[in-house]
Chains A and B, each alone.
Chain A
Amino acid sequence: MVVEIKNLVKRYGDFLAVDNIDLSIDDGEIFGLLGPNGAGKTTAINCIIGMQKQDKGKILLFGKEFDGNDSSIKRDIGIVPQDLALYLDLTCYENVTFFAKLYGLKGELLKSRVQEALEFTGLWDRRKDLARKLSGGMKRRLNIACAIVHQPKLIIMDEPTVGIDPQSRNHILQAVKELNKKGSSIIYTSHYMEEAEELCSRIAIMDNGKVIAQGTKEELKAFVTVEVKTEFELSAINYTLISCIKQVYGVRECAYQDNLLVVVSEKDSKNLSKIIDCIVATDVDIVSMNIEKPTLETVFLTLTGRTLRD
């Protein structure tokens, strides 16, 4: 296990930022930490990297208890902070070199690692440019290059795609997958559910300082799904068809408007073929069909009563 957090509590005065959370992240996985702004994700991460001292609880990194000082543990962590952490008056090459040296890299190894990090993030051609001259997306990529130059076993990415263009976002998401393929475990925080859906094998959802659910995407979706909504566009709709569908096992609701039919069934009722049989029996053609699947957004909405970006 790469990270194990037990009963973590962090307060700021009377405000309870992290409320007794338990998390575990396996070696080689991309773990998503989701939640709206102010949910406690960044505070939890600051505690994990030792930037802030927790009030209660235990943090184990690579099997060892971590209090923020152990250099051998720090050497294996790379952090991509939510806000850019760069020296704007240094070039891309100098920024990455500076942070690489803090991890003890020197000589030829230093040069090759810096080149590797810049090439990986697509910034090698811009290595001589001052960081201040880069676009927002490039700065985000440089932010990543500084965090991965020492090839850490655990990379913590705190909302790395906030406020950037779609092209840079795709670049970063691809980079996360690549890093994971190379063997790094990743903690990825975001309030973009679609990013987590695409990247993460397991997810924890935080709200008001608490972990309100965690598991694989499928587990989370299954946990909240109570009904399945299916939409049909038909050549025609008639009373016989509606009455047939309403008699199918598990159907809770059947509504229509013009040629659009919406059927809501209970979870796991497995009645789709029966519904199609009704349509075929009434001699109506199916123009299109769509089964609405639950998303992580639905999961969050179900758990908290609001959307993630509210």
Chain B
Amino acid sequence: MSDQFLFIALPYVALISLVIGSILRFRINAFSYSSLSTQFLEDRWLAWASMPWHIGIIVILTGHLLAFSFPGVWTTLAAEPVFLITVEVVGALCAFLCLFGVLILLVRRFVDAKLQAVTNHLEIVVLLILLIQISSGLAVALLHRWGSSWAPGALGPYLHSILMLRPDAAYLSDMPPFVKMHIATAWVLLMLLPFTRLVHAMSLPFHYFFRAPQKVVWNSSRSEARFEQRLEKDTERRLFIKASVGLGASAVLLSLGTLDKFFKYFLKQDLSNEQEAHLLSEKLHRLKQSAQEREYELERMSKDDIFVAKLSDLSKTKGKYFIDYQMRPALAFRDENGLPILLSAKCTHLGCTVGQDLDEQGRVLCPCHISYFDIKTGSPSAGSPAKDPLPHIGWALQNEQGKTLLAQDAEGRREGSIEPGQLESSLLFIVKRFSGEAA
């Protein structure tokens, strides 16, 4: 029964009062639309009250309006946690700003003598209703999680039904008491709006943007100076409040957004079984690589000769990488005469590893600073940043029984001999005996 009164009868009374009251007031006393300012009577409290109040209420009303006007869009957006949290936080911050502002507005009406002279009962009543409205709104936001998603779901259809003259209070029947209170108070506010200073919300001063600037002229220079001084102080105060509100709000939002991500960074990571397996195999692969490098190192410390490749496996155009006795990269090619060419692959310019592919002129390329090296002589081509030749590396060919047939040191001196028929089956080694000779 009370639902019927609060959510069907009251709205129509309020709407009628709003429309007729506004029109009447405009016709009878149009200049009162912008409301009487009390700034001349008291400006210190006012700056602290009016700015937070207006910043807060403009944001909140815009949010309400958006949710009522585009319920579909709003519901979709609110399904996104980041958006929802942002809206909740901005809303709560603005509500606290409003609360702060209204409390100070109320207090200044009671403590300032000049103000008391111009204060009527209705001003106090309106401020009290606003206080109730904000508190109930804040209570909905804080006590009932995700309150912002009710607006499009239930309030939108209800408002629609009122405006279409098919009022249906059933949409609101299961709402928590704070929500009901918030809606009912909203109607009361709309009803009182034409008869109070709240009416100035309907007179947006857009013409300020277009009109020519006006200069206020004072009849005495002393009062002008006093006014200027006061104005400067007030501007400074307002700037400071605006900046603090802006900085505070953005700091809260920024830290909320970042902390949300940063906090998760330290949580236990959620990996699927495959991901774990993949990671582990990667790790194992690299461990094996490191282990192999160590093995190479040990091998070079302890063994007199190290196997490079079967001679028949070597290519004339694509070198095979191996590690020389100094643990530096080296390349093995096969010459036209069937014998191997072994040379260091560490560029003599700045130490990059040269590429393994031979170009038409029998050269390999160091990609870092574009040096070409002839593999037969090792020397860099003219114009290369590298000036010194790549040193050759001594080698030995052994048969399968491990007997050295032919060996060559870094300077190209050979000992032993090999039959052409034995070449294909012979094995290529680097030998420690010659290793000291590489520069």
B is bound to A: no
**Chain B residues at the A interface, C-beta cutoff of 8 Å:** none
